[in-house]
Structure 1
Amino acid sequence: MTFSTLIDHRAAGDPAGAAVADSAQSLTNAELLVRVRAAAAQLTELGVLPGDVVALKLANRVEFVVLLFAAWRIGATVTPVNPALTEPEVLRQLEDSGARLLVVEDGREGVGEVPVISVSDIQRETPTSDAPPVVDPTALALLIYTSGTTGVPKGVMLDHANLDAMTAMGREALQFSGSDRCLLILPLFHVNGIVVSVLSPLLVGGSVVIADRFNPQSFFDAIEEHRPTFFSAVPTIYSMLAALPDEVKPDTSSVRFAVCGAAPASADLLSRFEQRYGFPLVEAYGLSEGTCGSATNPVDGLRKPGTVGLPFPGQEIRILGVDGDSLPHGAAGEVVVRGANVMRGYLGRPDETAAVIKDGWLHTGDVGRLDEDGYLTIVGRSKEMIIRGGENIYPKEIEDVLALDPTVLEVAVVGVPDEKWGEVVVAYVQPRPGSTVDLESIAALCEQRLSGYKRPSAVHVLETLPKSAVGKLDKLALRTAALVAN
C-alpha cells in the first residue's frame, strides 16, 4: 500500500470510519474516497499529468487533504504555498516549481500565468471514470519550500519513498495505532503538518481533526470536544498554554502525548507543561530536508528534557568536527543525518544539494552533541554561533537560562558585531501575559548561571518576538534590528 492507494484501502476496510474533519465538514473513509476520486478526475481534465506540480495556496481545511491525495492518485506533485506570502513570493515559488495549476481560496486571485481554480469549484461527486492510482515510489510527492530566512527559498524534493520511510519510522517511534486521532494545529504548508498530523494517523487507520486558527483561550475547548490522542505544535504555542491562568484546568485525559518541534524548547517549559497538564510533551527534532523528523524523545521510556531524544528507527545521527571527523560523546559539532528519509535534493540546485548531502549524509547546519545514551541535544545553528573574543557561544544555552525567569514567555539571543570583542550577546525577551520583565532580576539570573563572556550585553523587552511562517523565531529580523539600533 502506498499513499496514492491509502484512501482506497481505508474505504474498503472501514467505509463508515472517521477520516478527516474540520469546522465545516466531516468525512468518513468512503466519503473521502469519493471526494479524492472526483478531484483526481478533475485535475486530469484540467490537463494535470503525472509529474506535474499542483500548487495549493489554502488554509488548513479538508479540501487540502482531498487535493493532496487526489494529486498523488494521478502521479502529480503537490507544492503547498503559504497563504501569507506576498504576490512576488508566490510568483517565485510557482515559477521555480513549474506549477501546472494553482488552487486558491474563494475570492482570491491567481498569480502570474499559472491556471487557477477556486477551492469551491473542486468537484465532489463520483466521477464517471476513474483511472487506477499511480504507484511509483520514485515519483516526486512533495515540493516543500524552505522558509527562506537565510536566503531565497529552495524547493525540497521529497518522493513517495521518503514519505513511506518517514511515516514508518514515526509509526514505530511514536507508537501510532488505529485508535489515534490527531488535532491538527500546525500549518499544512509545512512538512510537519502534513507528515505528522495527517499522513501518520491516516496510515495506521486513525483520523484527523483540523482545528480552527490557534487561540490559547479556546484550545483546550477543542481538546475536550474532539478528544484527540495527540497533537504537534511549536514551543511558542506551549509557552502560551503554560502561561494560562491557574484556574484553567482542562480535561486532557484523551491525550497520549504531544510533540514539540520546529524550534528548541527549554527543559523548564517541557517539565512545567507536562506537570500541569498531565500528558507527555515529547520534544523532537527534524527539518524539511529530512522529511520532517530525525530524533525524538520516546513516548514511553526515558525522556530527557532539554534533549531532542534518540534517532528515529532507521536513521543514524553523527556529530562532526570542523575536520569532518566524528566527535565523541559530549562534544559539540555539526549534526549529520543518514536514512531513507533524506530528501532527493533541492529542485534545480545541484550544487547546493551536493553541499548538504555528502556520501548519503545530510549536513543539517545545526550544532549539537550526543550523550552516552545516544540522546541528541541541539545547541544552535552553526550560523547562529556567536564568537566573542575568540570564545564560542551557543545562543540556546543563554536562552534556556533566561527562560527560567517566571515573567519571560519567550526569548531569543543573537550576536551583534562589536569593535572590541568581534561580537557580543544581545537578548530579546517577550513577557508573559500580565507580567512585567524585571531587567535587574534577569541580570542577577545571568550572573548566577552564566560565565561573564556569555552574559548578554543588552536585554530588550518586546511585546511580541518576530516569527517565521512556521512559528520559528525570526532571528534574522532581530539581528537586523540590533544592527540598526547600533
Structure 2
Amino acid sequence: MAQIARWAREAPDKIAAHFPDLGISITFGELDARANRAAQWLISLGLEPGDGVALLMDNRPEFIELVFACRRAGLYYTPLSVHLRPQEVAYMLGDAGAKAIIVSPGLAELATALLREGATGEVPRFAIGEGLPRYGSYEAALAAFPAPTRLPERPVGREFLYSSGTTGLPKGIKRPLLSWENRNTPDWDTTWKSIYGFGPDTVYLSPAPLYHAAPHGFTIRRTIAEGGTAVVMAKFDPLRALELIERYRVTHSQWVPTMFVRLLALPEADRMRFDLSSHRCAIHAAAPCPVGVKRRMMEWWGPILWEYYAGSESVGTTVVSPQDWLARPGTVGRPVNGVKLHICDDDGNELPVGEVGRICFEGAPRFAYHNAPEKTAAAYNARGWASLGDLGRVDEEGWLFLSDRRADLILSGGVNLYPAEIEAALARHPEVAEVAVVGIPNEDFGEQVHAVIVPRDPRADTRALQASLEALCKEHLAGPKRPRSWEFAEELPRSEAGKLLRRILKERYLKPA
C-alpha cells in the first residue's frame, strides 16, 4: 500500500501503532517491511488477486500488518468477530469464499473448537506464534521470506466486511478492488480527513475491536495511512482509556455510547485526575446516545464530541459537530458528500418535515450484499434511494433525528410505538444508567411495552425506582407508550460494536410454536 511505503521512507522510526497492553510498539519502517514479507507469503500460497483471507484475531500488531499485506497482494480480507460461535465462523468462511484463515494465540480455545466441529473445512489454517495444534505457524511461514522485495503488480486489496447481524445472519459487503494503475488513489472517502482533522500529527485511541468496521477504518485508513499514530487497546477499560489519553497525548478517539456510560460511572476523583488537554476530537456512532449522557460527557471533556450516522453499506452519512448538537440536542446531523436525505413512507412517498418514516439516501454509489440479491433489492426503493432500515425524521433545517429500526417498532392495539421515544423519557431519570424498550406479546393488544432498566446504583431499591419511573412516564408519555411491564438488569445485551440486541430481550417472552 503506497501510503505506508511513503511514511516508511519519510519517517521510518516514527511509531505507526502502540499496543500498550502488550508492551509493543511498531514503527512505520517495521510495519512496511513486515507487510511486504507477509504479502510475499500470501502470494506464495497460490492466492490470486481477488481471493480472500479470513482474520480471526484480537487487537495485536499482526492484524495491522496482515491488513496491509492483503492490500499489497491484491486480496480481500474479512475480519471475524472473536465472539463468533463455530457454526457462525463456518457460515462466514463459506459465504466469503475465504481461502485461508489466520488466528490469534489468545483465541486458542475457539480455534480448537473450530477444528473439532469442522468449521474451517479444508481451508488452510495458520496461527500467530507457536504451538497451536493443526495450525501452521505464521512466524515460521514469514521466516521463509526474510527480507522485503519487489512485489508483483496486482490490484489493491481491500476489506470484505460483514454487517453486525443484529437482526439475523451477517450480510457481506464486497466492493471492487482498485487497479494497480490507480494504487495511489485512496479507495475511501477522504471527507473524514477534513471534517475531523486527521493527519500526520494525529494520535488516535482505539478502545474497540479492530475487526469492527468503524475502529478498523479509523485505525487503518484515517490514522496509519495518513501518517498518524494509533494507540490500540486490547479491550476497553474506562480508567485505562483515560490513562492512555494522558500518556500518549491522544488527539482523536472513537467510541460507542455504552463506553460513555462506563466512563461516567467512574468515581469523580478518578475522572478528574488525568490530563486530557490534548484530546480535541472524540467521535461516536453505532448506537443512539441518550441526550443526558452526551451532555454530561461534554460538560466533562468539553465540546469535542462529534457524531455520525452511517453503515458499512456506505449509502449515506450524516455528521453533527459538538456545537450544532448543543443547539439541537438529539440530532445525528445532516448529510455530507453531496448525498441527499429523504424520509419516506412504506410506499416510497416522501413525508413532510417532522413526520417519522424510513431514512433514505439519494446519490451514493450503489452497493450489493454478497450472495443476497433479495436483501440488496429490499435496501432500495422504486426511486433507487437506499436505506439501512432505520426510521427517523428531519426538522425544518434538514437535521436528522433517529427514531428506531423498522424491525424494532412496537405495534400495540394498532398503534405504532417507537422505543427510542420511550427510552428517551425513561433516560431522564437520574437513577437510570441504561434503558431498553421492547415489545413483548400481549393477548389483547398484540404487543405491550416492556422496559428493561439498568440502575445507576446496582443496590437500588427497584420497587421504589419503578414507582418513580411510572410517575415520570405519566408526566411525559401518552397512555399507550407507557411500559406495562418492567425488568431490572445489571447490563443490557449488546454486540461488540455497542448495538443493543433487542431480539435477545424479546426472545425470552416468545411462546414456543
* 1:298 aligned residue: 321
Residue of 274, 281, 284 corresponding to 2:298: 274
Question: Is 1:412–1:427's contact at 8 Å kept on the other side of the alignment?
Answer: yes
The Cα of 1:159 is off from its aligned counterpart by: 4.1
Alpha-carbon displacement from aligned partner over 1:223-246 (angstroms, at most 9, x marks no partner): 211221121111111111112212
Q: Distance in 2 between matches of 1:444 and 1:330?
A: 28
Q: Does 2:405 align with 1:416?
A: no
The Cα of 1:104 is off from its aligned counterpart by: 0.5
Q: Does 2:367 align with 1:344?
A: yes
Q: Distance in 1 between matches of 2:374 and 2:407?
A: 19
* 2:147 aligned residue: 127
* 1:46 aligned residue: 45
The Cα of 1:366 is off from its aligned counterpart by: 0.2
Q: Distance in 2 between matches of 1:339 and 1:192?
A: 22
Q: Distance in 1 between matches of 2:177 and 2:303?
A: 33
Alpha-carbon displacement from aligned partner over 1:25-50 (angstroms, at most 9, x marks no partner): 21222221111101111111122221
Alignment of structure 1 residues 102-121 onto 2, 5 Å? 102-106=101-105, 107=108, 108-109=111-112, 111-120=120-129, 121=138
Question: Is 2:199–2:228's contact at 8 Å kept on the other side of the alignment?
Answer: yes
Task: Tell me how large the CA RMSD over aligned residues is.
Answer: 2.3
Alignment of structure 1 residues 292-441 onto 2, 5 Å? 294-298=317-321, 303=326, 304-340=328-364, 344-358=367-381, 360-434=384-458, 436=460, 437=462, 438-441=465-468
Residue of 3, 7, 12 corresponding to 1:10: 7
Q: Distance in 2 between matches of 1:158 and 1:26?
A: 32
Question: Is 2:223–2:230's contact at 8 Å kept on the other side of the alignment?
Answer: yes
Q: 2:481 is aligned with what amino acid?
A: K
Alignment of structure 1 residues 437-456 onto 2, 5 Å? 437=462, 438-456=465-483
Question: Is 2:344–2:350's contact at 8 Å kept on the other side of the alignment?
Answer: yes
The Cα of 1:95 is off from its aligned counterpart by: 1.0
The Cα of 1:339 is off from its aligned counterpart by: 4.7
* 1:197 aligned residue: 219
Q: Secondary structure at the match of 1:361?
A: coil
* 2:133 aligned residue: none
Residue of 474, 483, 486 corresponding to 2:510: 483
Alignment of structure 1 residues 135-284 onto 2, 5 Å? 135=155, 141-159=158-176, 164=186, 166-248=188-270, 249=272, 250-284=274-308
| Counterparts in 2 of 1:356 and 1:94: CA distance versus 1, 3 Å | same
Structure 2: state its 5+ residue gaps. 130-137, 179-184
* 2:135 aligned residue: none
- How many aligned positions are there? 476
Q: Which moved more, 1:431-440 or 1:87-96?
A: 431-440
The Cα of 1:149 is off from its aligned counterpart by: 2.8
Q: 2:410 is aligned with what amino acid?
A: I
Q: Secondary structure at the match of 2:204?
A: strand
Question: Is 2:52–2:77's contact at 8 Å kept on the other side of the alignment?
Answer: yes
Q: Which moved more, 1:446-455 or 1:216-225?
A: 216-225
Q: Which moved more, 1:170-179 or 1:239-248?
A: 170-179
The Cα of 1:72 is off from its aligned counterpart by: 0.9
Q: Secondary structure at the match of 1:392?
A: strand
Question: Is 2:58–2:234's contact at 8 Å kept on the other side of the alignment?
Answer: no
TM-score, length of structure 1 as denominator length: 0.92
Structure 1: state its 5+ residue gaps. none
Question: Is 1:62–1:210's contact at 8 Å kept on the other side of the alignment?
Answer: no
* 2:28 aligned residue: 29
